Amino acid sequence: MIYLCRYSPHLIDFCNYRITTQHPDNITKAMNCTNYDACPECDLLLNNSSPRLGEKAYCPRCGLLLSHPKKQSVERTFALSIAGFILFFPSLLLPMVGITVLGSANTGILLSGVIALFKESMWPVAIVVFLASILFPLVHLSLSLLISGHLYFNRPNRFLVHWMHWMQHLDEWVMLEVYMLGIIVACVKLMAIAPLQFGWGLYAFIALLIITTQLTAGLDKKLFWHHIALLQKGHNHGR
C-alpha cells in the first residue's frame, strides 16, 4: 500500500528553487519542470508515482485508489475481449428461457424484453434498455478489442486516444448485471406458474457477464494510456 506525497500550496522546494505563495509566477515556472498528478476525486496535487505490481497507490486526503498495476493487463484484456465478443452473439440470439403453459411453449431471447416494451408503446424505456443492455456493451467490447489489439501488436493508430476516451465514458453505461437481475426476478416469478427450461442463450449471457466483469476489473487504464503515448510518440518520430 502506498500513500503518495502531496504538494503543499504554501511551500515548494524543487528544481533549485525555494518558492512561497507570494511569488505566483515562480510557482508556475517551477511546476512546469515537474510532473504532478491530480486526484480525480479531491483535486489534490500529488507526486507522480509508479507502484510496482501488487502495490496500490491511494490519495492521502480522500483515500481514493489512484493506481493498482495489474499483471499482463494488455494481454488479458485482449483475450477477454475476444472471448466476450464471441459470446455476445449467442447470448443475444439463442433462447434464454422457455416456459410451457397449457401445452403452449414460449421461449425468450435477449431482445424479447426490448421488443415487448416497444409493443407496449413504452418507447423511452425500450430505448434505454436496448442501449444499456445490448448496444453499449457491444460497443464497449469492440473498443476494448480494438485498443488492446493495437497495443498487443504494437500498431499505432491515430484514433487510439479517441477510442480510449469513448471506452471510459461507456464504463458507466454497460449494465449487463442489471439486466441479469431482471432475468432472475422474472424466472423466480415464472417458476410459480410453470416449470422453466433454460437455454444456451442464458448460459452464454452468464459467461459474458463474468467476462465483462473480469475485463473491467483487469484493465489497467494508466498502463493503457502509457502504451498509447509511447505508440503515438514512436509513430510521430517515424514520420
Answer yes or no: do 204 and 183 share one domain. yes
Structural domain containing residue 209: 73-238
Same structural domain for residues 10 and 86? Answer: no
Query: Does 77 lie in the same domain as 155?
Result: yes
Provide the pLDDT for residue 106. Answer: 77
Q: Are residues 103 and 220 in the same domain?
A: yes
**Could you tell me if 178 and 117 lie in one domain?**
yes
Question: Between 158 and 14, whose confidence is greater?
Answer: 158
Highest mean pLDDT among 2-6, 26-30, 99-103: 99-103
Judgement on whether residues 200 and 216 belong to the same structural domain of the protein: yes
End of a domain among 67, 85, 120?
A: 67
pLDDT tens column, 178-202: 778 888 888 888 887 888 888 899 9
More confident residue, 21 or 32: 32
* Count of positions (residues) in the chain: 239
Residue 80 neighbours by CB distance under 10 Å: 23
In single-letter form, the type of residue at position 130 comes to F
What total of structural domains would you count in the chain?
A: 2
Q: Which of 126, 156, 179, 122 is nearest to 227 (CA)?
A: 156
Give the end of a domain, one of 67, 83, 100. 67
Nearest to 89 by CA among 236, 169, 204, 195: 204
Helices 73-93 + 221-238 axis angle, to 10: 110
**Banded pLDDT at 11 (limits 50, 70, 90):** very low
What pLDDT score does 14 carry? 33
Which backbone phi and psi does 215 adopt, to 5 degrees? -65, -45
3-state helix, strand, coil in the chain (%, to 5): 55, 15, 30
pLDDT band at 3, cuts 50/70/90?
Answer: very low
Same domain for 88 and 130, yes or no, is yes
Helices (H), 153-220: 160-170, 176-191, 200-218
Q: How many other CB atoms sit within 10 Å of the CB of residue 128? A: 15
The region of weakest confidence among 30-39, 107-116, 199-208 is 30-39
Q: What is the pTM of this model?
A: 0.74
Residue 46's pLDDT is 80
pLDDT tens column, 105-118: 778 888 888 888 88
Supply 87's cell numbers: 459470446
Is the predicted pLDDT of residue 164 greater than 90, yes or no? yes
pLDDT at 214 over 80: yes
For residue 66, give the nearest of 6, 138, 140 by alpha carbon: 6
Residues 208 and 110 in one domain: yes
* 136 vs 61, more confident: 136
* 36 pLDDT higher than 90: no
**Could you tell me if 51 and 80 lie in one domain?**
no
Lowest mean pLDDT among 53-57, 92-96, 234-238: 234-238
Same domain, 52 and 124: no
235 band by pLDDT with thresholds 50, 70 and 90: low
- Tens of pLDDT, residue by residue over 78-105, are 999 999 999 999 998 898 888 877 777 7
Do 29 and 14 lie in one domain? The reply is yes
Task: Looking at the structure, tell me whether residues 52 and 118 fall in a common domain.
Answer: no
Range of weakest confidence among 12-21, 56-65, 109-118: 12-21
Q: What local confidence, expressed as pLDDT, does residue 9 receive? A: 41
Check residue 54 and give its pLDDT. Answer: 67
Distant-in-sequence, close-in-space partners of 70: CB < 8 Å, separation ≥ 6: 53, 76, 218, 219, 220, 223
The domain boundary, picked from 41, 67, 93, lies at: 67
